[in-house]
Amino acid sequence: MEAPGLPRKETMKIAKSILDTIGKTPLVALDRVTSGLPGRVLAKIEYYNPGASIKDRAALAMIETAEKQGLLKKGGTVVELTSGNMGTGLAVVCAVKGYRMIAVMSEGNSEERVHMLRAVGAKVVLVPQVGSKRLGQVSREDLEAVDVETTRLTKKLKAFRPNQFYNESCAHAHELATGKEIWEQTEGKVGVFVASIGTGGTFVGVARALKKRNSQIECYAAEPASAPFIAGKKVTNTSHKIQGTGYSLIPPLWDKDLCDGFVTATDAEALRFSRLLSRKEGIFSGFSSGANVACSVKLARKAKPGTVIVTVLPDTGLKYLSTDLFEK
C-alpha cells in the first residue's frame, strides 16, 4: 500500500531511492591548501555518496551489470573482499535491492568500517592479519589472505562475487560518470588528473574518459612512498597507512598506456594533507584523500601557471576516527 498523502508522481523532485544519488559529486577548489602554487588543485568530494566513499559508483555498476547478465537473482547473496568502502557501497546497494551482503575484510582495516558495514545490513567476516597486528595498515599479504577466504565463502554459499579487482564495471562506472563529470565541471579545462590505485578502477576509468576528450590531458598514478610497485621502483615496506590503495601489485584493470607518470606520498604526507584539508578547507577526509592531495600539490608546484589539476577525495575522516589520522 502507498504511504498516504505522498502522491507518487515522477514530476516530483525526489530520488526514487538513495541509489539515484550516487555520483554527481561536487568539485571543490583547494585554494587555501594550495595558495601560491602555479597549478590549481580541484577535488571531487566523494564522501557525498551514500556509503560515504567513491566505491559506491563501482558497487552500483557491478551489481546492475550482474543483474543484467542474470548472475544475480532476486534474494541472492553477494560476497566481496573489501577494505571497507567497497563493502559498504555494495551493502547500500544490496539493502535497497533486497540482496544479502557478506563483506570479507582484514582485521587491519579501521573498526568504523566494520560498524558501518553492519549498520547497513552486511555480515562482516574478519580475516586475521598475516604476521603481526598492525591496526590501520593493510599489506598485500593481508589482501591475499582475505582473497582466499572470499573464494571459500563464495563457493560454499553459491554466492555472486563481484570480484572488484577483475570487474571491468569498476572502470566503466568511472569512465561513464566520474570522468565525464570532471570534464563537464571544469568545462574541459582539466589539464592533469591524479589518483591513488586500489583496483585501479578510478584511475583507469577517469583517465579513459578524459583522454578520449583531450589526449593532451596528463594522468598520474599516486602510490605510497614505501611501495611504488606499479612504477616499478623498490618496495621497502608493503604495509602503509593509505588504506584501500597501494597493495604492491599490478591490478588486473591497470592500463599502463593511460599513465603519464607516478607520484608518491609518505604516510606522514598523507596524514599532514588530510589534516590540512580539515583545518583549512573544512573537508574532513581520509588517508588516501591526504595522499592524493599531497601528490597533486607536488605536481602543482612544478606545473605551468594556471594548470588545472583534478584529484578525488575517496572517503571521509569519519571512517578513521579510531586511527591516528586526527589528534584526539
Ligand X SMILES: Cc1ncc(COP(=O)(O)O)c(C=O)c1O
| Residues in touch with ligand X (CB under 6 A) | 53, 55, 83, 85-86, 196-203, 243-245, 286, 288, 314-315
The whole-angstrom separation of Cα 168 and Cα 171 is 5
Find the catalytic residue in 248, 288, 289, 296. 288
Task: Return the number of the residue (163 or 307) whose C-beta is nearest ligand X.
Answer: 163
> At closest approach, how far in Å is the CB of 172 from ligand X?
12
Q: Tell me which residue has cell 584529484.
A: 311
Query: What's the CA gap between 61 and 280, in Å, rounded?
Result: 34
Quick one: 197 or 299, whose CB is closer to ligand X? 197
Q: How far is the CB of 321 from ligand X (least distance, A)?
A: 15
CB of 95 or CB of 291, closer to ligand X: 291
Coil, strand, or helix at residue 142? helix
Residue 288 annotated as catalytic: yes
Calculate the CA dihedral of residues 105, 109, 110, 112 and round it to 10 degrees.
Answer: -20
The distance of closest approach from Cβ of residue 8 to ligand X in the complex, given in angstroms and rounded to an integer, is 35
- Cα(261)–Cα(296) distance, integer angstroms: 12
DSSP H helical segments within 123-259, as ranges? 140-157, 168-173, 179-185, 201-213
Residue 28 near residue 187, CB atoms below 8 Å? no
User: Nearest-5° angle of CA 227, CA 242, CA 221?
Assistant: 60
- Of 247 and 307, nearer to ligand X (C-beta) is 247
- CB of 111 or CB of 189, closer to ligand X: 111
Least CB distance to ligand X at residue 16 (A): 26
Amino acid at 34: T
The contacts of residue 246 (CB under 8 Å, 6+ apart) are 196, 197, 198, 223, 224, 227, 229, 240
Using alpha carbons, select from 231, 239, 222, 192 the residue that is nearest to residue 293. 222
> Shortest Cβ distance from residue 31 to ligand X (Å)?
23
Judge whether 83 counts as a catalytic residue: no
The residue whose Cβ lies closest to ligand X is: 244
- Catalytic-labelled residue, pool 55, 97, 211, 319: 55
Q: Which residues are catalytic?
A: 55, 288
